[in-house]
Amino acid sequence: MRKFLLRRFAFLIPQLFVVSFLAFLLIKLLPGDPVLIILGPLRTQEGVIRETKRLGLDKPFFVQYGRYVERTVQGDFGNSIVTKQPVIEELGRRVPATLWLITLGLVACVVIGIGVGYVAALAPPTGWGTWLNKSIIGYGFLAGALPDFWVGLILVFIFFATLGILPAPIGQLPGYIPSLLPDGPTNIDLLDTLIKGDFGQAGTAFRASIMPVVTLAIVYAPVVLKITAVTTTEVFNSQYVTGARAVGVRRRTITRYIMRNALLPIVTTSGVLYAFLLGGAVLVETVFSWGGFGQYTVDAVNALDFNVIQGMMLVAAVFTIVVYLLIDIIHYFVDPRIRVSTVGSS
């Protein structure tokens, strides 16, 4: 157990190095001199030289990279050119909101996906079973073809513009000026208002999160649904399940047998989806003015805010790496074969 985890964690270090190097390299490739962007049009010759020296841009490439790694490890991501604030603080304020959104989205996808997928796999191959399976396939193709941001806009049109039953897509807490937003410990407005005990605002925040989460569920649930239906069908048709059914094992026990074996591909797919959602959330956040990592990213790219771009690349990559690590750890606990093979190989 410890050996497996140690080896898996040791693998993180070279991964992080390569990722940080790529993030650094990318920024080096950016057009334009960062010094000129920072100082703006009203600059003096000495100012440029001083700033270049201060940022260490007169040093050789690998010295610069070394300094970059040193700063990053200490949590210093530099300052944003646009807001002049430290990037790490801005990320700290914005990343939780995005993680919250995509976590809720993932939970919705997994619940819907496993639920419906399981029913579809065990449904009789006649009548409503055929109908259900056909609609799932069709829905899967359709949902995979629609841009998530467009689906979000359609929901806005129906539930806000036409029916008026959900709040406008203007952030996590509609009706509040961003600067007056509650400053709480989690930086997630729904949780912060709950912690403060302000249930009126919490209600608003809850209603505001319905549409973005439903958007993610509509577009991405078929991913989990499909893999659940396929693997469950496979396991259901396997000989040991047929055997268990033949000798009259209870239905509940059989369900446990099936789930245990179908779970691994579902976990992997859900994990990959989770990592993917961080990128997908960029667009959904834009539609709902969520004020999270995604919008921050878009603003940074449009303003060529290189420290922010570097920071966001790093956050995105680290998130992906951590999610893949979690998948491996879950596999370790769910699949006894991994435990045996690591013992055998050591």
Partner 1 sequence: MTTTTWPAVRVRVPRLSASAIWAGMRRQKLLTIALGILAVMIFLAAVGPIIAPHDPESVLRETLLDEQGQPILNSQGDPRTQLVNLRAPSGTYWFGTDEKALDVFSRTISAPRVDLVIAIASTIIGLGAGSVIGLVAGYAAGRGRLVGSLAEVLTRFMDIIQAFPVFIVALALVAVIGSGQDKVIYVLSFLFTPIFFRYVRAETLLVRELTFVEAERAVGNPTRRIMFNHILPNSVTTATVQGSAVMGYAILLTAGLSFVGAGVAPPTPEWGAMIRSGVELMQSGQWWTSVFPGITLGLTVFSLAVIGESIRVRWRGSGLRGY
CB atoms within 10 A of CB 12: 14
Q: Which residues pair with 66 in a beta bridge?
A: none
Which contacts of 330-335 are long-range, i.e. CB under 8 A and separated by 24 or more positions? 330/267, 330/271, 331/264, 331/267, 331/268, 332/1, 332/4, 332/5, 334/260, 334/263, 334/264, 334/267, 335/264
CB of 238 to partner 1, least distance (A): 20
Record the tokens describing residue 10, joined without a space: 């040791």
Question: CB 142 → partner 1: shortest distance, Å?
Answer: 6
In angstroms, give the least distance from the CB of 213 to partner 1.
Answer: 18
Nearest residue (CB) to partner 1, 258 versus 316 = 316
How large is the C-alpha radius of gyration of the chain? Answer: 25
Nearer to partner 1, 123 or 284 (CB): 284
> Please, what is the minimum distance in Å from the beta carbon of residue 120 to partner 1?
18
Neighbours of 221 (CB within 10 A): 26
Q: Which residues contribute to the site for partner 1 (CB under 8 A)?
A: 15, 18-19, 22, 26, 29-31, 141-142, 144-147, 149-150, 153-154, 156-157, 160-162, 168-169, 275-276, 278-280, 282-283, 286-287, 297-298, 300-302, 304, 309, 312-313, 316-317, 319-321, 324
Phi/psi of residue 281, nearest 5 degrees = -65, -25
Q: Encode burial over 185-201: b for 16+ CB neighbours within 10 A, e otherwise.
A: eebbbbbbbbeeeeeeb
C-beta of 277: minimal distance to partner 1 in Å? 9
Is the Cβ of residue 163 or residue 177 nearer to partner 1 in the bound state?
A: 163
Please state, in angstroms and rounded to a whole number, the distance separating the CA atoms of residues 270 and 277.
10
The residue among 154 and 340 lying less far from partner 1, judged by its C-beta, is 154
Q: Which is nearer to partner 1, 39 or 283 (CB)?
A: 283
Closer by beta carbon to partner 1, 191 or else 321: 321
